[in-house]
Amino acid sequence: MVNALTGKFLHITDIHLDLDYSEGSDPKELCHRGKGKAGPLGAVGTKCDSSPALVKKTFDFIGKKFSDVDFVIYTGDSARHDRDDKFPRTMKNVINEQKIVVDHFKDIFDSNYPVIGNNDVEPHNSCEENDQQFQNIASVWEPLKLNTSSHGFQRGGYFYEDVVPGKLRTIHTNTLHFYKDNKKSKADCKSSKGMGTAHLKWLQQVLDESREQGYSVYILAHIPPTSKKGKAYYTDDCLQGYLELLGTYKDTVVGHFAGHYNNDILSAIVEDGGKYSQLSALKKKKTIQRNSLKKNNFIMPLFNTPSVIPTFNPSVRVFEYETQGTDQYPVGTILDWRQYYLNLDDNGQDYELEYQASELFKINHFDGKGIEQVFTLMMDNQAVHKEYLDHVTVNTDDDDSDDD
């Protein structure tokens, strides 16, 4: 990396650009036709995807404010959903929308690191071993100069990048191979020949290599292990294998970043009696119990950045991270983040700061111990917990979201 590190990176997710979005159309018709209240920047709290105007405004904002970040992680889903039975999307739609998103990134940033989302393939949720779509996506991503010529990407759509040479590596998973709804590969982590098994084996190999080489690792995933309601997205065997890898390599993995379910939800990998699980601060009620804190050893945080698509108010996040490393805090340890959002209930004048994590949670290192302190604070302080719940839906009153 030629430029001096700023210690900041951008996380953006779930853009869902809809080139057929029609201003003034009916949100009940998915903002494609009819007369209604679909504004130029989208219809917040509906099933409509992102308008081109919203996507442009988002990139204009980050271009003006964050062009100096060290790198960008993008956890997938550039294309619109296939929700409109009267206007089904095509492979051409999927490719064109991904190309436009890549061009937006390339116009601003030298270093952008994406993953494949479940709506970046056609049909959605579907891919298999050596899928031709991986080559199609590699062609779309070619301007980003990524490591997509690797055998892992050709076979399964996963790869890794050295974002800070000698210090920090990103591992780009393809969580469709773990996903219950992928009917092509069947998300098989039980069979020795399953694509889920192959992906876990590859992930372990890269983690072994990274540990030996002294790298800290960020794992990037589109679909997180569990949903916003705490239910597993992955098949049982894939979920168990994935969480065990995160726990086993806790000395190497310093951050896990995902998107998919649009909400801003904090989770943690915890260990109890040698078994690893995910514990989330869920949104509808206070689920953090003191006995959970007592019996679990907190391993690492899992960060879910909310989306650009206006299921809730559109948002982007900027993380601060440790660039030098100490005995206590290795390179890549998350120090803070700032969440920015576009208040569409206020006509979406411009993106503004929603909250700063260190101010809300009163800590300055978000590692395993840090996330335990966050959970303890939310359990003991009702005001902090209430503010967290407001941020779960990006200060949007409507709480009806889809996890896709």
| Average of per-residue pLDDT across 133-159 | 94
Tokens describing residue 54: 């919203």
Closest CA to 11 of 57, 55, 76: 76
User: 397 pLDDT exceeds 80?
Assistant: no
Please report the pLDDT score of residue 170 as a whole number.
Answer: 98
| Average of per-residue pLDDT across 255-261 | 96
Please report the pLDDT score of residue 194 as a whole number.
Answer: 92
Q: Which of 177-181, 213-217, 281-285 shows the lowest per-residue confidence on average (mean pLDDT)?
A: 281-285
**Residue 129, Cβ density class (10 Å: 0-12 exposed, 13-18 middle, ≥19 buried):** middle
Q: Which residue has the higher pLDDT, 91 or 229?
A: 91
| Average of per-residue pLDDT across 349-362 | 96
Beta carbons of 269 and 245 less than 8 angstroms apart: no
Closest CA to 304 of 12, 5, 6: 12
Closest CA to 196 of 218, 212, 215, 173: 173
pLDDT digits (tens, 9 = 90+) for 28-86: 999 999 999 999 999 999 999 999 999 999 999 999 999 999 999 999 999 999 999 99
User: 185 pLDDT exceeds 90?
Assistant: no
Distance (Å, whole) CA 244 – CA 226:
14
Q: How confident is the model at residue 402 (pLDDT cuts 50, 70, 90)?
A: low
| Average of per-residue pLDDT across 308-312 | 97
| Average of per-residue pLDDT across 126-145 | 95
Q: If you search the block for the tokens 């309601």, which residue do you land on? A: 229
Q: If you search the block for the tokens 């889920």, which residue do you land on? A: 196
Please report the pLDDT score of residue 107 as a whole number.
Answer: 95
User: 285 pLDDT exceeds 50?
Assistant: no
Mean pLDDT of the chain: 92
| Average of per-residue pLDDT across 117-129 | 95
Please report the pLDDT score of residue 282 as a whole number.
Answer: 65
Please report the pLDDT score of residue 1 as a whole number.
Answer: 39
Q: How far apart, in Å, are the Cα atoms of 67 and each of 183, 241, 334?
A: 40, 37, 20
Q: How confident is the model at residue 286 (pLDDT cuts 50, 70, 90)?
A: low
The Cα diameter of the chain in Å comes to 61
- Looking at CATH, the fold of the domain delimited by 8-392 is given as Purple Acid Phosphatase; chain A, domain 2 (3.60.21)
User: 376 pLDDT exceeds 70?
Assistant: yes
Closest CA to 334 of 303, 307, 374, 304: 303
Please report the pLDDT score of residue 385 as a whole number.
Answer: 87
Ramachandran angles phi, psi of 222, nearest 5°: -80, -55
Helix 91-108 to helix 132-140 angle (10° resolution) is 30
Measured in whole angstroms, the distance separating CA 267 from the mean position of its chain's CA atoms is 13
pLDDT more than 70, % of the chain = 94
- 289: how many CB neighbours lie within 10 A of its CB? 12
Distance (Å, whole) CA 152 – CA 171:
11
Cα-Cα-Cα-Cα dihedral sign, residues 113, 76, 394, 389: negative
Domain boundaries, the chain: 8-392
pTM of the model: 0.95
3-state helix/strand/coil string of the chain: CCCCCCCEEEEECCCCECCCCCCCCCHHHCCCCCCCCCECCECCCCCCCECHHHHHHHHHHHHHHHCCCCEEEECCCCECCCCCCCCCCCHHHHHHHHHHHHHHHHHHCCCEEECCCCCCCCCCCCCCCCCHHHHHHHHHCHHHCCCCCCHHHHHHCCEEEEEECCCEEEEECCHHHCECCCCCCCCCCCCCCCHHHHHHHHHHHHHHHHHHHCCEEEEECCCCCECCCCCECECHHHHHHHHHHHHHCCCCEEEEEECCCCCCEEEEEEEECCEEEEEECCCCCCCCCHHHHHHCEEEEEEEECCCCCCCCCCEEEEEEECCCCCCCCCCCCEEEEEEEECCHHHCCCCCEEEEEHHHHHCCCCCCHHHHHHHHHHHHHCHHHHHHHHHHHCCCCCCCCCCCC
